[in-house]
Every structure is written in C-alpha cells, then in structure tokens.
C-alpha cells in the first residue's frame, strides 16, 4: 500500500480533500489522548469521524495511510467564551452582533447563532492557530442571551452552528445581590409560566415582567439541559451564585473566576466548572484582588473541571499560550490540554468534540511540536475529517508585502 507523507499532504491541503467517508490512517503520530501527554500511536479517520486512536488502533483494509513522521496530533482547540463571528472589529458597531442592546437587561431569547457570520475573516485566523470550535457568547445586560457552539468550518450557519442554545449567558455586573435577586425572580416566574402556560394564553394567569420569549428561553435552564454561564470573578459573588444554583436546582458554569481558587472545594462539591484566563493575574479590577497565577492549578487539584478561554474574538490563537502559562504555574500538562479540548466540550454537552476517541468528530490539529510551546507551529487543521491549510487574510497580507512596495499593483499592459 502506498503511504503518503503528511508534509506532502499539507502542501496540497484544501486541494486534496478526502472524499466523504474515506478511511484515512495517520500512522507514526504522537497522539494527545485525553488525560495524557502525547504518545506514539495511530489515528484512523472514517470520513468526518474518528474510527480509532491509540497505539493499537486497527487500520481497516484499504484505508489510505499517511505517515505523520512523529508529528503531534491533537484534537482541535476549543475556546468557550468567544465573540468570534459575532464582532469583526470591536470599535465598529456596524460589525457587532454580540449585544442585543436595548434598555431591558433581560435578553434571554436573544440567540447569537442568528447573527453568527461564518464568513468572518477572524475565523481562518483562529483556525490557523489550531482552533476548531468555539462557544460564541452574547454580551450585555444581566441576561445577555443564548450562546452557540460553532465549528470553525463551513460557509453557512447551518454547517457551522452545532448547538444552539448551548448555554444561557449571565453577567453579575453591579451589586451581585441586585443581579441575583432579578435572576431568582426570573427563574421562579419561568417555572410558574411553564406550569400555567395554558392559563396564561387565556389571560387567566398573572402578567410577568418578562417577555414570553424570554420566559420560554429559560425552559432548558430549568430543565438542566443547558447551564447558566455566569461571569463572576469575586469569590463572594461566586459563593452567592453557588447558593442560587443549589436553591434553583440549575446547572451553572463560572466564567472568569479570577478568585475561584478561594472556593475550590465548594465548586468541586457542587460540580460547577470554571472557565479561566490564566494570564489574569494581579488585581486588574477590585473583583480580582486575589487573582493568582496558579488559579487553574489549584482548581484542578481540588477536582474542579477547568476550561481555559481567551475571552476574545481576535486572539483565539493565544489559547495554547494561555494553557502553557497554566502549566508554567503548576497545572499538569494533560489537564491544561484537556482544559482547551475535552473539558470545554464536556461542559457544554458536546462530548464528541475535543477528544481523539472512536466516534468523535474528526477535528484535529497537526503540530510541529508541543502544542503549548511557543515555537511550535500548526502544520494543518482538519475539521470534520477535511484538511484545511492554515491560511487567512493575514497570510495574504504577508505574501503581498513580502517584497515591497507590495501595493499598488503594477500597471496593466494595454488592451489588445
């Protein structure tokens, strides 16, 4: 059987798209299996899915073999607090679809998936950095709206959006007591609304200070289908949030969590995951006075599920640097890598993402070395089993200006 070399394949990436359901085996790779550091193994793809992965992976008859030559192959990276595809340029409101706006701080029915732009030029930039999925989140207000899980692939929302809603996004801005009071009232009204829906339709229920669609949007939260994704840094705010979660029997995920390490045992006991930025160190805000560089390490050691996010749209490619810094400050490598792959997938009910395991989505990255190390490069990114060259508007700019003057182009010859 003929074995292609991975590097050769990469040169032709994009042009040489494997046919649907084609079997491809990456042999001689170093695979980052969940919970472990990269180790030798073979990865077998069956079209858009992973068929097998590991040192003893079975390669079916007739499967196309590609020699990975010891390259590190990992699941694609996942950032679960992003504005990717929602905001093209932060300071230009015409490019922004992240904030529903308006004077009502409750926008539970606002779905960012409807404004997701799969043609955003930010997406190829993120993908070139090894990202293959993101949770794109709304912003603004107390209840910002519904987050969506997207794969960084496809020209339509239909192809890109894999789950919506994937979470309901809340921010504890201002006095936490005031925010939590409103939330509690909203949750209780939503339960009442759900149980008296018929009476409400006939005008035989009391009126609610929330719109019908906002009340309906809380149903999957109340039924624990999706978590409330709550921005909070201060330990006291997180503590109050844990009380709300217990009392309302809802799932919550903490986003930010600069001081979460102070409540690590409580978060572990409540099974509440935390999404952190390990670079937030130092009292940047008054709510972050106790931020520590080993926040992620301490949370992990206590048994808390940790995900790492850039909380950005333009800087997703920094995700691996963030994870590397968490390792620098005490988080085991495998836990840090899990925090940007399998853990965020698990948190948002996307268990077939973020893992090199049979049945998982074939979202992969091939690296020149340790993916968390600065001098490692992304060699190729595969989404749903398709290799994509790490190209973007930025690589085009680089090529245009590789030699000067770059622009303007030379004069055209006269027409015939």
Q: In the complex, which residues of this chain contact another protein (CB under 8 A)?
A: 88-92, 122, 261-262, 279-286, 288-290, 292, 313-315, 317-318, 321, 324-325, 327-328, 372-377, 394, 397-398, 401, 404-407
Q: Which is nearer to another protein, 311 or 348 (CB)?
A: 311
- Our CB check for another protein shows the closer of 139 and 357 to be 139
Q: Which is nearer to another protein, 40 or 284 (CB)?
A: 284
DSSP letters along 302-343, please?
TT--EEE----SS-GGGHHHHHHHHHHTT--HHHHHHTTTHH
Measured from the CB of residue 289, what is the shortest distance to another protein in angstroms? 5
- Find the shortest distance in angstroms from Cβ 194 to another protein: 41
Residue whose CB is less far from another protein, 193 or 311: 311
When the beta carbons of 60 and 283 are compared against another protein, the nearer one is 283
Burial annotation 152-189 (CB, 10 A radius, 16+ → b, else e): bbbeebeebbbbbbbbbbbbbeeebeebbebbeebbeb
Query: Apex CA 278: angle with CA 274 and CA 281, to 5°?
Result: 115
Coil, strand or helix at 4 = strand
Least Å from the CB of residue 353 to another protein: 24
- Quick one: 180 or 323, whose CB is closer to another protein? 323
Query: Cβ of residue 395: shortest distance to another protein, in angstroms?
Result: 8
Distances (CA, A) of 245 to 158, 233, 253, 275: 33, 16, 10, 17
CB of 11 to another protein, least distance (A): 14
For another protein, the closer CB: 21 or 89: 89
The rounded Cα 246 to chain-centroid distance in angstroms is 26
Minimal distance, residue 144 CB to another protein, in Å: 20
Q: Give Cβ neighbours of residue 232 (< 8 Å, ≥ 6 apart).
A: 172, 176, 238, 241, 254, 255, 256, 257, 287
Closer residue to another protein (CB): 201 or 396: 396
**CA–CA gap between residue 389 and residue 214 (Å, rounded):** 41
Contacts of 404 (CB under 8 A, 6+ apart): none
Encoded tokens for 205: 């229920």
Nearest-10 Cα torsion for 179, 185, 187, 190: -140
**Rounded Cα–Cα distance for residues 252 and 129 (Å):** 29
Bond before 408 cis per omega within 30 degrees: yes
Cβ at position 291, least distance to another protein in Å: 10
Specify the residue, 328 or 352, whose C-beta has the smaller distance to another protein: 328
Nearest to 318 by CA among 74, 79, 34: 79
- Compute CA 363 distance to the chain's CA centroid, rounded to the nearest angstrom: 13
At a CB cut-off of 8 Å and minimum separation 6, what does 415 contact? none
Q: Are 312 and 331 in contact (CB under 8 A)?
A: no
Least distance (Å) from another protein to the CB of residue 72? 15
How many CA atoms within 13 Å lie on the side-chain side of 107? 23
Least Cβ distance, residue 102 to another protein (angstroms): 22
User: What is the rounded end-to-end Cα distance, in angstroms, of the chain?
Assistant: 52
The minimum distance between CB 84 and another protein, in angstroms, equals 11
In the complex with another protein, which residue's Cβ is closer, 177 or 282?
282
Q: Cβ 195 to another protein, closest distance in Å?
A: 43
Could you tell me which of 74, 79, 127 has the C-alpha nearest to residue 277?
A: 79
Instruction: Tell me how far apart the alpha carbons of residues 84 and 121 are, in angstroms, rounded to a whole number.
Output: 10
Nearer to another protein by Cβ, of 46 and 277: the residue is 277
């Amino acid at each position: 059987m003929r074995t292609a070399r991975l590097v050769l394949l990469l040169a032709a990436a994009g042009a040489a798209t494997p046919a649907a359901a084609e079997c491809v085996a990456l042999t001689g790779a170093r695979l980052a299996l969940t919970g472990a550091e990269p180790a030798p193994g073979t990865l077998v793809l069956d079209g858009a899915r992973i068929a097998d992965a590991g040192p003893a992976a079975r390669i079916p008859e007739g499967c196309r073999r590609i020699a990975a030559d010891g390259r590190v192959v990992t699941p694609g990276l996942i950032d679960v607090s992003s504005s990717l595809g929602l905001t093209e340029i932060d300071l230009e409101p015409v490019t922004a679809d992240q904030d529903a706006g308006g004077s009502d701080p409750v926008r539970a029915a606002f779905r960012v998936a409807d404004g997701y732009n799969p043609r955003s030029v930010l997406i190829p930039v993120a993908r070139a950095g090894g990202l293959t999925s993101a949770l794109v989140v709304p912003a603004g207000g107390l209840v910002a709206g519904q987050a969506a899980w997207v794969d960084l692939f496809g020209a339509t929302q239909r192809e890109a959006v894999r789950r919506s809603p994937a979470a309901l996004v809340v921010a504890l801005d201002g006095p936490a007591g005031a925010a939590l009071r409103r939330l509690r009232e909203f949750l209780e009204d939503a339960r009442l609304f759900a149980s008296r829906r018929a009476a409400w339709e006939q005008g035989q229920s009391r009126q609610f200070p929330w719109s019908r669609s906002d009340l309906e949007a809380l149903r999957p939260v109340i039924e624990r289908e999706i978590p409330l994704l709550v921005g909070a840094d201060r330990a006291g705010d997180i503590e109050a949030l844990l009380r709300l979660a217990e009392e309302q029997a809802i799932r919550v995920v903490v986003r930010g969590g600069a001081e979460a390490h102070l409540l690590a045992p409580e978060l572990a006991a409540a099974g509440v995951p935390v999404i952190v930025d390990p670079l937030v160190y130092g009292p940047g805000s008054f709510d972050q006075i106790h931020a520590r560089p080993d926040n992620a390490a301490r949370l992990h050691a206590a048994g808390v599920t940790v995900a790492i996010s850039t909380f950005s749209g333009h800087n997703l490619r920094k995700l691996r640097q963030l994870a590397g810094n968490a390792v620098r400050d005490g988080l085991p490598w495998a836990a840090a890598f899990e925090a940007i792959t399998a853990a965020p997938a698990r948190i948002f009910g996307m268990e077939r993402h973020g893992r090199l395991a049979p049945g998982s989505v074939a979202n992969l990255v091939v690296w020149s070395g340790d993916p968390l190390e600065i001098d490692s490069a992304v060699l190729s990114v595969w989404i749903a089993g398709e290799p994509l060259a790490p190209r973007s508007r930025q690589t085009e700019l680089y090529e245009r200006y590789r030699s000067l003057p770059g622009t303007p182009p030379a004069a055209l010859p006269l027409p015939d």
